[in-house]
Every structure is written in structure tokens, then in C-alpha cells.
Amino acid sequence: ESFGELPLAFVGVFSSIGMLVTYKKTGRIIDNIHTLGFGFLTVYHSFVGGMLVKVHTNINVILTLVICVGLILTMLLLVHKVPKENYGLLRKVSIIGSVLAIAAVLVITVIKMFWGWLRFRSMQDNLNQFSPWYLPQGFTTNNEYMSLPLGHSANSSVIIMITLLPYLYPRLNKSRKLFYAVSILWILCVMISRIIVGAHFASDVT
């Protein structure tokens, strides 16, 4: 619950920095727009990472900021470790990661708001409130009515991006299967944990 969604922030920050590093300047105003846009996204995704942890652990503001800055510095280091000859691939991976990091939040949140499905933990005293998952219950902004689909599952699933790392870092080629295994295990752990704490049904996490 506390750390399962962090891959979203990792991928978002890495991809935004990758977009900044691999951008070929044209000398036009579009250069400034690109820099400002992905600079903002870098800070935004790092902030999301810090807040995702803070919401579930109640850490103080200073530690939250440390996590934000740490995310940016760590991803900066990783991006600069990519060999220059692989910058073409880095650009493609960064585009995929940027779209995925934004879509995982935007698409899921919009569906949640219009689906209006009550969480399991909120209906335990009155199971008559249960309704089939495939029947939307109407628009809501109440978090307890945003059970479907599961944000934790979507955000944790962004970890699948690590399977692209061997393309960027040739020395990791021997670890391809390990990256797939870690991705699957991480996603499953997050999905199952959300059911265990009563925040979601199996249909939500699926």
C-alpha cells in the first residue's frame, strides 16, 4: 500500500529526464516549450512519488521533499549512464514511459469518478450495498466510491517498463528474465495486498 505505486514515479521522472536529455534543439521557440514542459513533468512525477508515500505513511514534509529530490537525482544518474549510442532508443523508451505515467493516473481516475463503485471496506456492515462490477453507479468525487478500477494496480503495473532497461544498458542483457520476474511479482503483491486490506475486490485489481 505504501510503496507499491512508486514505479509510476520512477518511470515518470526517468522518462521526463530522458526526453530532456535526448531532445535535439532547433533554435525555435518550441525548444523552450519542450524544456519547460518536461522540466515541469520531472518535478511533478517526483512530487507524486513523495506524496504516494506520505499519504500511506504520514511521514513529515521534510522527508517527503527528500524523497522527491532523491528521485530526481537518482533518475538523472541512471539516464546519464545510458551510452550515447543508445540515445535513439532512450528517446523511444522515454516517449513510452511519459505516455504511460500520465495515462495510468489520468485514465484510471476518470473511470473511477464515473464508475462510482463502493469499496469493500465501506460496505462490510451493509452488504446490500454491493453491486456487480460491470454496472456503473454514477459520478462521484468520494474516494470510498472509487473502488473500480484499482489505481494501485495500474500504477504498480508501470514497473513493466524495467523490462526495456536491457535495451538501454547492454550489460543488463543477461538479466532480462529477472526483470520480467520482478515485474510480475511486484504487480501481484500489490494486487493481493489491496484485497487483503479490504480496499478492493478481486475484480477491481484485475
pLDDT tens-digit readout, 98-120? 999 988 888 888 888 888 877 88
What's the pTM value of the predicted model, to 2 decimals?
0.86
112-150 as b/e, with b when 16 or more CB fall inside 10 Å? beebbbbbbebbeeeeeeeeebeeeeeebeeeebbbbbb
pLDDT at 194: 86
**What's the rounded mean pLDDT across residues 25-44?**
90
CA–CA gap between residue 102 and residue 97 (Å, rounded): 9
Separation CA 167–CA 172 (nearest Å) = 8
Bond preceding residue 149 cis, omega within 30 of 0: yes
* Per-position b or e across 13-45, b if 16+ CB within 10 A of its CB: bbbbbbbbbbeeeeeeeeeeebeeebeebbebb
pLDDT, one tens digit per residue, over 135-158 is: 888 888 887 877 777 788 888 999
pLDDT greater at residue 82 or residue 205: 82
